[in-house]
Chain A
Amino acid sequence: MTTVSETKWVGRAIRRREDPRLLAGKGKYIGDITLPGTTYVHLVRSTHAHARIRNIDTTKAENYPGVVAVVTGEEVAAAMKPMLVPSIIPRLGGELQIPTVYPLAIDKVLWVGDPIVAIIAENKYIAEDAAQLVEIEYEPLPVLEDPEEALKSDSPKIHEDWKSNVLWHGELGDGDVEKAFREADYILSERFYGHRTGCAPLETRGAVASYDDFTGLTLYINSQRPHILRMALSQILNIPHDKVRVIAPKDVGGAFGTKAPIYREDLLICYLAMKLKRPVKWIENRMESLMTIGQERDQIHYLELAVRKDGKILGLRDRIIADVGDGRTGVYLGFVMPWLGAAYLTNAFDIPNVHIDLSCVVTNKPCLSPSRAFGEFPARFAMDYALHLVARELNLDPRDVFEKNIIKKFPYVTATGITHDSGDYVGAFKTLLEALDYDRVKQEQKEARKNGRLIGVGFAMGAEMSGIGSQVFVAMENQPGYGSATVKIDTHGMVQVLEGDSPQGQGHETTIAQAVADELGVNIDDIYISYGDTFATPFASGTLGNRGASYTVSAAVLACRKLKTKIQKIAAYLLGIESDSEEFIFANREVIWKKDNSKRVSLDDIADVAIMAPTKLPPGMEAGLEATAYFEANIASMLSIGVHGAVVEVNPKTGDYKILRYVVVDDCGVPINPMLVRGQVHGGVVMGIGNTRYEKYIYDEAGQPLCTTLMEYHMPSAADVPDIEVIEYNVPTPYTPLGTKGKGEGVPGPVPATLASAITDAIDRPGFKLLNLPLTPESIWRALNEDK
């Protein structure tokens, strides 16, 4: 007699189910989708950062053999509403000026890369060649590259109908800040700058649209949020919702936030398919990608901390100026990121008195697009590095300053209104110091110094969002925060899960299956996951902000539980047992009675009865085995902590530094698949190191982007990063059914303060500080030589 199997899938580091097809080159990406009769689009983009368009001559391009159509701004605008419809405008209070946005530039260009003319041709080569024949006359206008310049009242207005260049201004905070500063023993006051950087997914953006009068518009697009896009398309293009179908491909080659907004090109491609009644395909090239998306951070913080002499932070004031670019991208308008940076500024610290004044300023650069460590990258740098500077100034051990200020009681609501649900931040912090062997490193530092070697140790906290509940998300982005999933058992007893999100490499086919396998007592190979098609999946906001493991997995679990109630009733009826419905165990594809485990029914038999032979169901019971659940945590938001530490060695002659150790203590509640969690942490740290040390979207004074290839925008390779040590320190959250939380989104955040504090500790010279990112050998060398 077999015993009840307790094979658990959650918690096991099984290999990703996605990988065999990806490793064999059989992934299906947007580039792989081509419909019969497809035409190809190439965009003529502005070469000026700010200019009036005097004339556009498309005659030669139109006459080029193989060109199907040449389209300019006014024609496209006439066919739709201004893109920023109310449903994709955040409602965060404050003062917001909304730009009028159409897919192509009309009369004026606002940044190098602003799309002006679309060439549609029989193939992409013809489209590119014909694009060279378009003649555009520009009248250059003054270029605004510096947000502090753009803030000045006598600056020219980028959006001429606005009263200033401030897209959004608002204040965040709570408590008695004046009192805190009056009572402070010491006030730290510094200007911190986090440069324009972010991400560069190797798969660029892409879309394939088709249209016919009967089925309407079908858009294949590598979007993180197909449902939201579908809703927006229907509204902007005035097409009934049932005639708009958005499908995200099965595989997306990384997004990191950049594929979450609603871009001007999305609308353009749809319009072209509707105009031409032929499929239209657009794949962004690398240069377009590097000059358009992935640009984030770009914040100046005038940060002040009111500190008691024992290192306790009594209050915080910050004036943030964010360079949001042209502000013309849907959903975020470039300002949601800096707003989040402000909202999460106090990180994992208990600072009751906070006042933040945030100005999001438009400049002649592309609009900020979300990027992993969403808005908080420069804020984490300013906050955590400031704590190290406080320790240095007050001659305290930075360990004690951190420990004194770390949040200890949960749930905790910050002065900016962010809810920390649960965790043990101090425990995680102490675990990091142990792992670093902090005291020994400090001892070794002294020894090394005698030999002329500069070694330093640094650390920082990262409280990263783990999805945002509707309480916050509805206001923030006009979108629900719930996770949604449908679980269906099919005629063969296989389990199909349909989720409303749309993963881009997170491994949902593995993790959701692990959770569902445990709930239904089936094997992971019995489960198949469907996503991306808005005609088949339940509505959801998309895969972003660490929502998967907290919200989406929980929805799948809840859907299973709804189904289990019905399955148990069927089992009891088939077994002829009087039983209430919670008396069965699900294991080995069987439903087993707890009281007598010889009484069991296979899931296949139950599926067969429920779907194929409903006459055998309990009288009156509805047929089918299918349930949908929408999961909303009973708390405004959840966060998961990651504590980073590094040991570095600095060469004071060159400013170069070597990362000798990099350690992360990580809490994700319950890891569904520890291998995937480690992968997320590794990837996040690498991205953080890239952003901190190598990557920068540079503009010259004329607003020309100087990093338009991966030669100039250098992302780290394996040779550029140290071994990353990850230590799990998991505290299950009581707010999700499995205790799981999301992980990965915020991981780059603590990297700059970790490295800056380690470098500063290594240099250990009064007055030496690193206030500007990136931390390149050059910037360190300059800082070293400036304060001499």
Chain B
Amino acid sequence: MIKMTKTSSIALAGAMALALTSAVPAMAAGDGPEIAKKKWSFSGPGGHFDKNQLQRGFQVYKEVCSTCHGIKRIAFRNLVQPGGPEFPEDGVRSLAATYKVDELDGNGKVVQRPARLSDRFPSPYKNEAEARSIHNGANPPDLSLIAKARGVDYTGPIWYHPVSMLKDVVTGYQEGGADYIYALMTGYKDNAPAYRRDATGKLTEVAETSIQRGDKTILRCVSVEKVAGKPDNCTAMADGMNYNMAFPGHQIGMAKPISDGQVKYTDGTAATVSNYSADMAAFASWAADPTHDQRKSLGWQVMLYLLVTSILLYVAKKRLWREVH
């Protein structure tokens, strides 16, 4: 009898644990492109930001991304704080001074003064309307929360989904945003995939290497839909759009932002798009979560405290109940 209770108790506990992990909307939407999980210095419970990587990421942001994207939630002082890029304070002070911020003078007139450590990064635009007029109607998103506002959809088989979710909980997987940013920045292709239509109207993808120059039978399709009783439908890329492997729908307004050698690193890191992308993804992750390192290090202390307390409580409970059972 007692054994049976144990089994059903364990089953009920298991079912509850599954209920907690198996119903996560962000992971379950499941229609985005497959994006690989990368190993980051800030992955998992023991992870922390690599300040050199954050410094390189900031360099990429400043020299490339900042032309179009703001980071309005980051103040200059954040660049000095522990757990971040930890630039020397004097350097950041003079960096801030190169930016201008609005201020009211004694006569009520708007004047501009050099930014201070306590100021936040000014937007590259006066307002949203200006941003849209410059970018063909699009508004480049602010990057200070982008790493949390993006994620990776689960694309594997349905039966593995609960296992994958449980794994994400146990490993503390929170780097979906960084993985997405890396995949996006490295996911540009010159063209949409090439297809050739056969006599029945069916579209078949062809390898880039097998295409002859000027081949008129090649179709470039962002997506292909099967239509019952009709030739396959090819959706061509819209004007002014770019093909990207990671972007949902594969058509992105932003042109390929960066190429090999564009940013000169001073610490010997290879100047490749892959490194730029990883460094920028790390920087964006920090910008979205500047207290990350503090959170994870405090976490261990809390967990350890709770573990020891629980063990002591368990021992006390055992001794107490010995006289009852």
A and B: interacting chains: no
Residues of B within 8 A of A (CB): none
